[in-house]
Structure 1
């Protein structure tokens, strides 16, 4: 009940909630006091259940994936940056997805991360997946 932002993968959260449906998994944690549940879905994007407002899904960016090492941690760091910047959760999740996409395009956890401004540009320029991909 003391968690403001919970950012697990669907694998982690699903194991704890004994479910794989992102909406039901988010509801499981919110019923236990989590304020904002942000569930990463790998190639399926991200499912966000905010404290205020409607739940939403954002598709992943369409990039050539080279190595996913560090994508989850980099996504979480992107969420933190967005929160610090005062962005809403939708903008924060878009930025976090761009951070993870940049990491996935290179080798190791640094991937193709260059700078904050470069990542914002990627967030605004990278194409998004058009078909819904089920969580891994």
Structure 2
């Protein structure tokens, strides 16, 4: 079964980290990432950009584009991991590994009902 591990954090806290602090955290998270890849349990993972550059599409027909995600939460969704685990307990264990690397983040584990990996994407740094 595939599970999404959604990573939440207070965006202002994340943006306050120095480049060295952020790089150290990312190194710790990449150790977990690499271990899950070696175990053939990790699919796509992404770190999302700031909510100030996000838009929301909502409404009828073609919808209306509105600035920002307008989440009614203290934390914002900052990224996600897709893991392939036989049971939710295994996905929780993977999220606990991520939490050990980033203990101030909040991780939501949710079953994925439809998973299509799509085409491999190359990073596009022009955005």
Where is the helix percentage greater, Structure 1 or Structure 2? Answer: 1
TM-score (norm 2): 0.29
Where is the strand percentage greater, Structure 1 or Structure 2? Answer: 2
TM-score (norm 1): 0.28
